Amino acid sequence: MKDISCKLLVIGAGPGGYVCAIRAGQLGIDTVIVDARKPGGTCLNVGCIPSKALIHAAEEYDRIVHLASGRSSLGIRTATPEISLSETIEWKDGIVGRLNGGVAALLKRAKVKMVGGWARFCDGKTVEVETETGRQVIRAENIVIATGSAPVELSNLPFGGRVISSTEALSLTAVPESLAVIGGGYIGLELGTAFAKLGAKVTIVEAQDRILPLYDAELTRRVGKRLRTLGVEVLTGAKAKGLARAGDALLVEAADGREIPLAVDRVLVTVGRKPVTQGWGIEELALDMDGPFIRVGERCETSMRGIYAIGDVTGEPMLAHRAMAQGEMVAEIIAGHKRGWDKRAIPAVCFTDPEIVAVGLAPDEAHRGGGEVRVGLFPFSASGRAMTKQSEDGFVRVVARADNHLVLGIQAVGQGVSELAAAFGLALEMGARLEDIAGTIHAHPTQGEAFQEAALKGLGRELHF
């Protein structure tokens, strides 16, 4: 096959990679993108999008179950519902397929050349790709590594059989009667909650002393309460030891040292993700590493001139929207624009029940910074819109400096609060002060009013609480 030469080669067509390639194409940069899978990466194909589809289906099913039980206070009654998970998965796959096609169309419109196959470095300017039609050599002035991440496998619970990762969990065609989830982080709790709503008996096994340990306890307390309502058993301070010899039970070491056998149909391992740094010839490069991750500077530059790295392969936070922002920035840098990168305004969202949003500093983190802070909190129990949606459990909280009221962080927990993430991120990005948020007219009645009310609370002049 004839060799390809280009100004920019992007390795990996996940959220960071395809956004980088599209933006580069828009800027007139001769761009090639390589991936062995369909465009969209983990997020689109086996992560963010399919998991949210499953979560939505589970929420709808759970709502109908409550209506059928006669426990609805809305006066609505319906017949006994059923769930056909195979049809749900088919619907989910349809969404993924539509989005795959959409990304491919966007790349084509930006005049980006797509090469299907697995890229491997020969040197810092050259890669070889094994395609369906043969070996393709690509030479590039600039290369962006966007190879993403993969689920972490436990040595005592290797994937296979009844032990599955999030990828397999999103393709199950029947709801397991019982499910053990190893890891109480956001992936485990999102999927565990969904399967509990679909009718599975779910047990969460978390090694630390509480679930969602990366979020402050005031936010996660509501999630724990909802898990108990759903009948989910949460074992904290517990460790999964492996499957019993017969293979029909998971052995768990409880916090008090007892060994507990859990009879489960499936074991879902969600103990984190690792960067994909093997299989594409990293040994041919002289890249500085930060533990298992590729070390990058503020402009996502690596230790080798002309090579950049973005997304999960560069470390935490492993978020699709972080990778997208990095990809866009790198494309503009290669085009000669002056760009920088600041991760302080990246929102993190847990699509648990209730949802959690956090951007910037939590109160404890702000206090550790050394200065005095103001914290304004408005509960949804005082929100008219939350009452009408039967979603009163939760709050919006704003953290600001005491001296000049500069907003340092915003957090929320409650039904549907993920849709407030954009407003929270914008406030930090624009350097808002409490007065800016308080002085912005928020539409009534909406849950977004809680943002304004929290800022007013921080100023000591709350109106509705």
Which pLDDT score is estimated for 23? 98
What average pLDDT does range 8-14 have in this prediction? 98
Q: How many residues does the chain have?
A: 465
Neighbouring residues of 378: CB distance < 8 A, sequence distance ≥ 6: 395, 396, 397, 450, 451, 453, 454, 457, 462, 464, 465
11, 13, 173, 251, 324 from 35: Cα distances, Å: 7, 6, 28, 39, 17
Q: Is 293 left (phi over 0), alpha (psi -120 to 50) or beta?
A: beta
Judged against a pLDDT cut of 90, whether residue 176 lies above it is answered with: yes
Q: For residue 181, give both structure tokens.
A: 């989830």
Q: What is the pLDDT of residues 372-386, one digit of tens each?
A: 999 999 999 999 999
Judged against a pLDDT cut of 80, whether residue 360 lies above it is answered with: yes
pLDDT band at 434 (very low <50, low <70, confident <90, very high): very high
Q: What distance in Å separates the CA atoms of residue 327 and residue 46, rounded to the nearest whole number?
A: 20
Helix (H, G, I), strand (E, B) or coil at 142: strand
The one-letter amino acid code at 111 reads K
Question: 444 catalytic, yes or no?
Answer: yes
E strands in 65-216: 113-116, 118-123, 126-131, 134-145, 149-151, 163-164, 178-182, 201-206
Residue 291, Cβ neighbours under 10 Å: how many?
Answer: 7
What average pLDDT does range 312-335 have in this prediction? 97
Judged against a pLDDT cut of 90, whether residue 248 lies above it is answered with: no
Judged against a pLDDT cut of 90, whether residue 58 lies above it is answered with: yes
**Start-to-end C-alpha separation, the chain:** 70
Helix (H, G, I), strand (E, B) or coil at 167: helix
Which pLDDT score is estimated for 414? 98
21, 269, 365, 401, 449 from 405: Cα distances, Å: 40, 43, 16, 5, 19
What average pLDDT does range 226-233 have in this prediction? 97
Q: What distance in Å separates the CA atoms of residue 193 and residue 316, rounded to the nearest whole number?
A: 24
Work out whether the CA dihedral 168, 170, 175, 179 comes out positive or negative.
positive
Which pLDDT score is estimated for 216? 93
What average pLDDT does range 180-201 have in this prediction? 98
pLDDT band at 225 (very low <50, low <70, confident <90, very high): very high
Judged against a pLDDT cut of 80, whether residue 82 lies above it is answered with: yes
- Which of 312-321, 341-350, 447-456 is predicted least confidently? 341-350
What average pLDDT does range 434-439 have in this prediction? 98
Which pLDDT score is estimated for 69? 79
What average pLDDT does range 84-91 have in this prediction? 96
- Which of 179-188, 245-254, 416-425, 452-461 is predicted least confidently? 245-254
Which pLDDT score is estimated for 218? 95
Q: What distance in Å separates the CA atoms of residue 194 and residue 51, rounded to the nearest whole number?
A: 9
Q: What is the pLDDT of residues 143-168, one digit of tens each?
A: 999 999 999 999 999 999 999 999 99
Catalytic residue chosen out of the listed positions 321, 405, 444, 464: 444
Q: Walk me through the domains of the chain, giving residue ranges and CATH numbers.
A: 4-46+89-150+274-344 (3.50.50.60), 163-271 (3.50.50.60), 354-458 (3.30.390.30)
The model carries a pTM of 0.94
Q: For residue 99, give both structure tokens.
A: 């989005």
**Per-residue b or e along 18-45, where b marks 16 or more CB atoms closer than 10 Å to that residue's CB:** bbbbbbbbbbebbbbbbbebbbbbbbbb
Which pLDDT score is estimated for 73? 78
Q: Could you check whether the bond before residue 379 is cis, i.e. omega within 30 degrees of 0?
A: no
Q: Is residue 418 within 8 Å of residue 442, measured between CB atoms? A: no
Q: Are strands 348-350 and 355-360 parallel, antiparallel or unpaired?
A: antiparallel
> CA 193: distance to chain centroid?
16
Judged against a pLDDT cut of 80, whether residue 77 lies above it is answered with: no
User: Residue 370: which H helix or E strand, with range?
Assistant: none
- Which of 23-27, 220-224, 342-346 is predicted least confidently? 342-346
Which pLDDT score is estimated for 373? 97
Q: For residue 132, give both structure tokens.
A: 């369906």
